[in-house]
Structure formats: C-alpha cells, structure tokens
Structure 1
Amino acid sequence: MGAGGVALGGTLAGCATPDAAGSGRTGVMIWDLFSGGDGALMQEMVGVVASANPDIAVESTTLAWGPPYYTKLAMASSGGKPPEAAVMHMSRLAGYAPGGLLEPFDLDKLAELGVGQEHFAPAVWEKAQFDGQLYALPLDTHPYIVFNNPTIVQEAGLATADGKLDLDALAGADNFLAAGRTLAEVTGETGVGWGYQRDPAGCWRMFWGLYSQNGGGYELTPGRPAALDEEAAAEVFEFLQAMVDGTVAAKNQDGNAASARFMAERTGMMFAGEWDLPMFREALPDVGATPFPAIFDTPANYADSHAFVLPRQEQADPAAREATYQVLAGLLKEGLTWASAGHIPAYQPIVEEPAYQELTPQRDYAAAAEVAVFDPDAWFTGGGSDFQVRMADAMTDTLAGEAPPRTAVTRMLSEMDRFLALPDPA
C-alpha cells in the first residue's frame, strides 16, 4: 500500500496533532494504512465527519501498511507522541495492548455517542478486548469467503431457488469435493480457485479457518512448547491435499493465477478475501459471494478486522480525547460507504439498514461476522506478520503433495516454538 496524506481542516505535521491554533478548533490526527480504493473511501468518510464537526480539525494520514506501519506506530507510542488515533488490524492487538502501547477506550464515553457492545457481533467485540477492557474499536470485519460465478453454479445444479450458491450442498468435506468435481465438469477445467503458492496469508487463512471448524485449539505460551490439536490439523491438510488434485482445484497455483482463472470463467468458485470484490465484480458483474462453507463440524470463518486504537499519549489532552471519540464514532456510522468496497461494517446498525440489505453480494456474506475466528493471540501473529510467512512455508510441501499431512503439522509447531523463544519487543 502506498504512503500519502490528506489533511482535512489541518496541516500535515508528522506525528503531531494537526495545528488548529488560532482556529478555535480541536485537532485530531488519525493514522491509517489504506491506499487505493479503500484509501479513497476512508478520505470520503473523514470528509463527511469533518464537515459534521466544524469545531474539530481532523487530519487523516496514510502510511505504508505492513511491518513498517506497525513499527512506526510502536515507536510513536513508546515515545509518547503518537497520533490521537490509528487504524490497526485486530489480529495485531496482542502485540500492542499488553506492552502498554495503547490505551483502553472509555465505554461510558462511547455509550454517550451511541456506540456499545450490543452494536457489534460477539466474536468481533471479544477480539477487541484485552485484560477485561476494550482496546480496539472495530470498523469492519473482513473475512475469507467464497466467491462464485452464478451461471456456472446454476448449470452445476448447486444453486438455491433464488439463484444463490447452496451452502448446504457444500457442507462436509465429501460434499464439497463432489461439488468441486461437478463444477469442473461444467468449466472443463477446475471447479474451485485457490492459489496457495507465494501467498502466505492465503495459506494461513485457509488453514486457520478450517482448523477452527474442526474444533482445533492452541496454546502459545512463552516458555512452553507450542500446542495444537495435531489430529485436527492433520485432517485439515488431508482435505486440502484432496482438494488440490488438479480437478477440484489446480495444483501448484498462485493467487494471481487463481483469480485470473476465476475471472475468465475457467473455474466456478474462488476462495479469497472479501476485499477482492471490486476486482471480481469488474470482470463478473453478477459475481456471487457467501460465507466460508462448513467443511467440518463447527461453523467458522477466518477473518480479521480493521479497528481504531488509541496510542498511548505521554500527556493526553482531554479536549483532543473527547474530539477523538466523536470523530471515531462518526466514522463507524459512515460504515455504509465503507461497505461499498466489500467490507462488513462492524457497527451492526449499518448492516441492518435497508440500504445495506440492497448491496449484493455484500448482504449474502454478512453472516460471516457472526462466526468469525481471528489469529491466535500472541505478539508475533496477525496480518502482515512474519508468522504467517513461516506458517505458509511449513505447509507448502504438504499442499503440493510432496509431504504427508503430519509433516506440515510438525513443521508448523517447530516454527511456533521458534517464535515463542523470541523476546516480546513490546
């Protein structure tokens, strides 16, 4: 993601609050990691909120996402002079809240602005907690879902009466594989698109979602060996090996190739993040999408969440903090704009609005937020982390059919032990 900045009512000032001196307005600076279409939507939302709050000088600054973004945020927080608020993937929260780099939200202040626990999916609200306090204010849920080509799905006999992909027909590993073979008969190539090569995040999202469906737990405690349900994990890899057979899904394929095949109608379904909706819809205007199918017994959908956090202030300005709450609450309530890119608004009143229910296929996968599962809680996990890269490396040989399922599990545990042996930099 590219770096840049857009000032609304203030002048770009590095890590400092926008200069509102002489204007009679309170300055609020927000760091985010959005570029491209997401960045444009965020700036539109910030503009609306700024116009509705003329007494607040709001400035939104976009930085390059990934390790550099989180390093800068940690350094600004530890130095005591960060922005008033910042966007963070909630999967990274465990690396920041325990180390004192963030401050908890005041639930009473949020309630005064019409924002409370009852307005969020339980799984999302729970992930935003640390030590019994709210450390993240979720903006969205962005799950790993299944896109589909309605024409191919209908020809394969896998559609419901209203033309949607029939998730019941995909429930269970055997049913899913059979459906994939049926779709392949229609396309003449493969049934399902999934590119695991050179896509560490995609590998991890697929595994962790399926592992959660299979009832798998974990223990990642410093000073102890990492623990997974090895039988449950091996069963996941057995399924993935069966899926990547050259018919259900292509062998040795990367994410770009999988997306291209789906958009060229050479496969009927596609595993991807909902953030790919704009790209797929440009090629397939009637593209469909659903939550992740229940391959195993427990409904679960891998997801992450963009959330607002309050970096630790060396000397907090009460007026700036009050203004920050007002701005963040306003941004949550602009969630319909954010939903246009595919993200599920975390603030559930938006999802319940008639205008959201008219968005297709967004409304069809909104239920994924109800069964969202996030990365395991550890300082080294989360979006854009080296952890996901190492986990993908550990499973690549198994996914390619060059090693048995147990090999991937053993290698993953070994890599987890390496992380657990490292000191927490926070």
Structure 2
Amino acid sequence: MDRASTSPSTASAAGGISRRQVLLGGLALVGGTVLGPALTSCSPSPSATGTPVRYWHPLSGGDGITMADLVESINDEHGFAAEQTVLTWGTPYYTKLAMASAGGRAPDVAVMHASRIPGYAPGGLLDPWDTDLLAELGVTEADFPAAVWEKGIVDGKLYSLALDSHPFILMYNTDVAEQAGALGDDGLLQDITSPEEFLDVARRMQEVTGKHGVSYGYLGDGAQMWRLFYTLYLQMGAEMTLDGDTVSLDEQAAVTALEFMTQMLDGTVAASTGDYGTAVAEFLNGESGMFLTGVWELPTLAASGMAFDARTIPTLYGTDAVYGDSHAFVLPHQDDPDEEQRRETYRFVSEILKGSIVWAGAGHIPAYQPIVESPAYDDLLPQAHYADATANLNYDPEAWFSGSGSDFQGYFAENIQNVLLGQTDPAVGLRGFVDRLNSILAKPNPVTGT
C-alpha cells in the first residue's frame, strides 16, 4: 500500500468516515497481516437484564480468562448484558477495529493499547469520552496517575481511558538471590544503582545457578529488544521524539544503552542468543536468578510454585524511568450513537475500573488509583512491590506508526538484533534504525494528511 500517494479524506458532513479513513488502521500497520477472525464471542449471563454492551478486546491466555471472569462478575452484580468478542491480538485486531469503526459496525467499547491512540484518534476512528459523564459515575482525572491519564488525551480530548499499566519489570528467584547474598535485611532484592552493580549481582547469581544470572529473551522479538533499550535510554535522562521530519534522540545515550545490553549478553550474565520462550523456561527451572520481562508473566510464575518476587527495574543511570504501556478502553466511532446505549457503556466501563482488583491478579497495575491505594492491593504480592512503576512510566515515542503491535518495534529489531549478537557496531545499528524511521517521517502522515 502506497501511503505517500494520497492523504486521508475528511469525514462527510453527515459525520461519516470516508473509504480512505477505513484504511487508516491498516496504514498504521504497514507490512502487517490480513484480518483475523474472532476467536471467542461470549454471551452475557442468563441473569443479565440490561441493554447489551458489545465489547471487543484482544486479551487471551491468562489475561483472557481473568477478563472473562471480571466481565461475568460485573454482569451478575450490576445487571449488565455485556457481550465479549475476543479477536486475535496485533495486526488483525487493530485492522479489524479500524474497519469496524469506519464501516458502521463498531462495538460499543473496545480495548486498545494506549500507545496506539496517536494512529487512530486524529483520523476520526474513535469518539472522545465525555469526562462529565465519567465524573458523574465516579471516574475522574484525579483517580489516575498523571502520565497514564494524559496518554489518552489528543487535541485536548480524552480518547482512551486506561484500565491498567503494564511496565517492563525485574522478577527474581528469592532462593537464588538469598544464596548469592543479594537480599537486603527486608528480604527484598538489594538496591542496585549502577550498571556495574547490576552485573555484579547477576554474576553472583550465576555462581549459584551454574548457568546464567539473568534471563532475557530477545531473538526475533523486537518488542523485547525495545523494552529494555528504551528503559535504559530514558534512565540517562534522554528523550526521543518522532513529531518532526526526522528523529530527535540522544545518540550517545542510545549507544551506551546498546553497549550495556551487549555486555550483559556475554553468555554468562545472560544467554547471548536466547529467545523469549527459552528465557521463560530457564527462569522457571531455576537456571537463572533474575528475569527481565513484563508483568503479564506473573500468573505463569505463580502457578509454577517457585519462590520469586518482583520489582521495578532498578535505576542504573540516575533517572527513574521504565518502559510500559496500558490496556485502555476506547469508544470506536459511531455516526449516531444511541444516548441510552452510550450511558450503559460508560456505566459498564466504570464498574470494570472499580472492580479491577481482579485484573490486578493477572499482574497488571490498575490505572484506577483507589484500587492501588486500597488495603486489598497492599496484600497482593509481588504486585505491590512494583506498583511504584506508574510514577515513572514511559510509552513509545508518539507517531502514527508506533505503539504496541505496530511495525515500529520491528524496525528496531531489523537493525539492532545483530548489534546484540555482537555482529554489528552499536553506532552502526542505531544509525540504520534512525534512517529507517527518517524515511517514514519524510513522507506525508496518512492519519492527518500532512
């Protein structure tokens, strides 16, 4: 698809969306696959008597089970008739959602990653939330971390309402850490404040496990490469923006982050050629002491019965920062939404947020702060040990082509994997990534037509 040949048309006077706008979601997924079918369609409970709320999301596995349980309980307790449709995550989901919004077949509410909003809201594929109605239902800006709430705002309007934040974190085997002398008097992992300290702790854990100190899978996984890189980069106080004709970034900070990653991947501290599945298995089998991963792995580790804890990734370069994203509720565009139906949708979402202590069980940090500040959340371990990550959460640099499930992180992998394999100089790999992004930024933005 040649996105540079034309710009998106504007919506008709009647409030409809042009065929060009139908394609906006796909344009934000250049190089992606075709639509995937719905995997699951869950009917409301027999006792539900309210107006049906059509709810789409891409949550599967443990997340899908937790969400299904949460929706079922909300239906039962509050008389909703919410119907869940679960679609294939990634390109299929985002393309399907865009086409449904533009084709007049949009669900009442859907889940998107907050990092994808810049590729949807400006093109008219989403409707803004009415913050007055949310406030009437007990959901206000004051109930959310500032960065998480602000991420949903485009041109002064709220287009996404976060359910959670899911940061990149550090999990650790408490038995291995204890044997390595890496636990403090409080029983938690010792404070680590520099790259050298991190490597030292990892090497001590490697002496215990006999294999590796850290599990970090990255082969063929641009998201994994990016999550750690961007965390380290931001911890140097560096910034990256994609809102001009060229990328703006701190090249020295970026190279330093890549150099540390290659130093860690020396075959002793961490496997030099590990993929994500291997990293999970290694940590579960006690063959490493620490695991760089996302909060979504918590149910897997909890089910294994191993002794582990988790914390926000240590600040190695002086500035508190961590990479993350949010599952967020959005209102796919409807030309003439029914007022009663919309109110029921708002009520449904507000009750999901208020009941998100259940969602916290899957490892995610609820965005609705009354949950995080409750005694019940304090009792959730290890979740309570990394809840502070929301204070320093950072999303992908904003662009129509960035965000979870987009090709942005794939562009990173194309140029950086060989760096991590020790086959390309970090500065050369970084330049290739920057050149790839600059080639995109030099062309018209298909979402705004500029």
TM-score bracket for this pair, using the shorter chain length: over 0.9
Amino acid at match of 1:411: G
Amino acid at match of 1:29: R
Between the aligned partners of 2:115 and 2:398, the Cα distance in structure 1 is 8
Q: 1:216 matched to which residue of 2?
A: 238
Amino acid at match of 1:181: R
Tell me, yes or no, if the aligned pair for 1:142 and 1:305 is still in contact at 8 Å: yes
What are the equivalent positions in structure 2 for 1:53-92 lying under 5 Å apart? 53-54=78-79, 56-92=80-116
Between the aligned partners of 1:424 and 1:281, the Cα distance in structure 2 is 44
Structure 2 residue 152 is the aligned partner of structure 1 residue 128: yes
What are the equivalent positions in structure 2 for 1:21-36 lying under 5 Å apart? 25-36=50-61
Map Cα deviations across residues 311-365 of structure 1 (whole Å, 9 max, x no partner).
Answer: 1111111111111100000001111111111111111111122221111111111
Moved more, 91-100 or 125-134: 125-134
Between the aligned partners of 1:150 and 1:156, the Cα distance in structure 2 is 10
Map Cα deviations across residues 58-108 of structure 1 (whole Å, 9 max, x no partner).
Answer: 211111111111001111111233011100011111111111111111111
Amino acid at match of 1:219: T
Tell me, yes or no, if the aligned pair for 2:284 and 2:306 is still in contact at 8 Å: no
TM-align CA RMSD: 1.7
Q: 1:13 matched to which residue of 2?
A: none
Between the aligned partners of 1:230 and 1:29, the Cα distance in structure 2 is 46
Map Cα deviations across residues 249-303 of structure 1 (whole Å, 9 max, x no partner).
Answer: 1111111111111111111000011101111223343211100111112111111
Shift of 1:424: 4.2
Between the aligned partners of 2:212 and 2:428, the Cα distance in structure 1 is 27
Q: 1:279 matched to which residue of 2?
A: 300
Tell me, yes or no, if the aligned pair for 1:263 and 1:284 is still in contact at 8 Å: no
Map Cα deviations across residues 201-231 of structure 1 (whole Å, 9 max, x no partner).
Answer: 1011111111111122123136x12221111
Q: 2:74 matched to which residue of 1?
A: 49
Structure 2 residue 183 is the aligned partner of structure 1 residue 159: yes
Amino acid at match of 1:69: Y
Decide which of 428, 436, 440 is 1:419's aligned counterpart: 440
Decide which of 31, 34, 37 is 2:62's aligned counterpart: 37
Amino acid at match of 2:375: P
Structure 2 residue 288 is the aligned partner of structure 1 residue 252: no
Decide which of 403, 407, 426 is 2:424's aligned counterpart: 403
Moved more, 384-393 or 65-74: 384-393
The alignment-based identity, stated in percent, is 45
Tell me, yes or no, if the aligned pair for 1:192 and 1:249 is still in contact at 8 Å: yes
Shift of 1:425: 4.5
Amino acid at match of 2:59: F
Q: 1:377 matched to which residue of 2?
A: 398
What are the equivalent positions in structure 2 for 1:139-288 lying under 5 Å apart? 139-166=163-190, 168=191, 170-221=192-243, 224-288=245-309
Secondary structure of the equivalent of 1:98?
A: helix
Secondary structure of the equivalent of 2:296?
A: helix
Moved more, 252-261 or 302-311: 252-261
Between the aligned partners of 2:292 and 2:357, the Cα distance in structure 1 is 24
Decide which of 118, 121, 142 is 1:94's aligned counterpart: 118
Tell me, yes or no, if the aligned pair for 1:136 and 1:307 is still in contact at 8 Å: yes
Tell me, yes or no, if the aligned pair for 2:169 and 2:295 is still in contact at 8 Å: yes
Distance 1:282 1:49, change over 3 A: closer
Moved more, 145-154 or 248-257: 248-257
Tell me, yes or no, if the aligned pair for 1:209 and 1:302 is still in contact at 8 Å: yes
Between the aligned partners of 1:186 and 1:45, the Cα distance in structure 2 is 41
Secondary structure of the equivalent of 1:289?
A: strand
Shift of 1:163: 1.2
Secondary structure of the equivalent of 2:409?
A: helix
Between the aligned partners of 2:225 and 2:267, the Cα distance in structure 1 is 17
- Between the two proteins, the alignment pairs up a number of residues equal to 410
Q: 1:297 matched to which residue of 2?
A: 318
Secondary structure of the equivalent of 1:3?
A: strand
Tell me, yes or no, if the aligned pair for 1:227 and 1:413 is still in contact at 8 Å: no
Amino acid at match of 2:44: L
Q: 2:142 matched to which residue of 1?
A: 118
Instruction: Structure 2: give runs of 5+ residues left out of the alignment.
Output: 1-35
Between the aligned partners of 1:422 and 1:159, the Cα distance in structure 2 is 52
Between the aligned partners of 1:340 and 1:399, the Cα distance in structure 2 is 34
Between the aligned partners of 2:241 and 2:383, the Cα distance in structure 1 is 34
